Structure 1
Amino acid sequence: MFTYKIDKDIHLRLFNENDAEEFYQLIIGFKTYLKEWLGWLDNIRTVEDTAANIKNQLNEIPKNKGYPLSFAIIYKDKIAGTIGFNSINNKTKTGVVGYWLGKDYQGKGIMTKSFKELLEYGFTVLLLNRIEVRIATKNIKSRALPEHFGFEKEGVIRQAEWLYDHYVDHVIYGLLATEWG
């Protein structure tokens, strides 16, 4: 099993199909909270939807030269959220990061440590030249993460995402391999 141990309580690992029920319960348990910034939640209606999503992630690994792009964030042996590359452009060696945590897991440093590990993985294992994060401009908590790691604020895309009943603008942050480490 592909695992990155961060500390005694936190590690990143591949999702597996046995995670479907636990991950589904995390999503559903915090759905109202997560809907403020995640536009895909209405696509998850059943455990089977979650299992299909996990299976799709696992099926992408061979297409990425055997490297996984998405990880479960495990905190004290429970799935606390997820982090990974939503997309990778192999021509430009650019990865776009996405992440979220269940509300009860926030404020413990879990995402900060997980984000740092993903950056290390992206620059040293995947050999990316650039990592981007695109975040709703009003999502201040999420924006603090790339800012903490020295990402450059590069601009704003107006009405970049539809969130159920309104558009949100996205700020784009970028970090180059030469700026990491």
Structure 2
Amino acid sequence: MPRTRRLNEEIELRQVEEQDAEAFFLLIERNRQHLRTWLGWLDNVHTIEDERDFLRMSYSQFLEDRAASYAILHQGKLIGNINFHPINWQHGRAEIGYMLDSAHEGHGIMTLACQTLLTIAFDDLQLNKVEIRCATGNTRSCAIPRRLGFVEEGVLRHAELLYDHYIDHRLFGMLASEWRARQAVSNWLAE
């Protein structure tokens, strides 16, 4: 899997590293209330050391080809994360998860990052399917797979315990054949 990928003049994806712990922790702290609406793992991250432990685990999974986690950098500053978790080689499938600093939402950054992970998944890793799961009420997050042409496959009821209540997830999927067809049309239109 690639360790870095430049998306444009300002945005780059880079494999997360242990030394990113403080920057990720500060990102989480700045956005904790906003992220808490949709992400259930925030109560596991109280210190920089908690984040460092998570990054060590993520890197270990990367080395074992079980997952890949990328820092999203805007002009060199960490503004988010996007990852494959987990990669199921037996079935040729991976799930994309993501988070972004609220100050950078609405600029197409996450759509571009997801599009790049689709290229990695289908072209580099030769996977057959990529899934994205979003809380049904998270309209911004659900807009990303829709924009990229994913098929909405259904709603998973009570898919996650979010602190004190259950939330439903929308399941979006894209097959390698669908991705290649979309790429062929894009290339044809660009000519």
| TM-score bucket of the superposed structures, by smaller chain | over 0.9
**Structure 1 SS opposite 2:9:** coil
Gaps of 5+ in 1: none
Gaps of 5+ in 2: 184-191
Alignment of 1:72-83 (within 5 A): 72-83=71-82
Whether the aligned pair in 1 keeps the contact of 2:62 and 2:69 (CA below 8 Å) is no
Structure 1 vs Structure 2: percent identity of aligned residues? 41
**Structure 2 SS opposite 1:100:** strand
Amino acid of the residue matched to residue 139 of structure 2?
I
CA distance in 1, matches of 2:144, 2:63: 30
* 1:67-115 deviation line (CA, Å, top 9, x unaligned): x611000011111110011211111101011001010111222111111
Amino acid of the residue matched to residue 83 of structure 2?
G
Q: Which residue of 2 aligns with 1:134?
A: 133
Q: Which residue of 1 aligns with 2:188?
A: none
Q: Which residue of 2 aligns with 1:44?
A: 45
Amino acid of the residue matched to residue 86 of structure 1?
H
**Structure 2 SS opposite 1:48:** helix
CA distance in 1, matches of 2:16, 2:64: 17
Q: Which residue of 1 aligns with 2:189?
A: none
TM-score, with structure 1 as normaliser: 0.95
Alignment of 1:3-82 (within 5 A): 3-64=4-65, 69-82=68-81
TM-score, with structure 2 as normaliser: 0.90
Whether the aligned pair in 1 keeps the contact of 2:111 and 2:148 (CA below 8 Å) is no
Whether the aligned pair in 1 keeps the contact of 2:82 and 2:113 (CA below 8 Å) is yes
Q: Please, what is the CA RMSD of the aligned residues?
A: 1.3
TM superposition shift of 1:16: 1.2
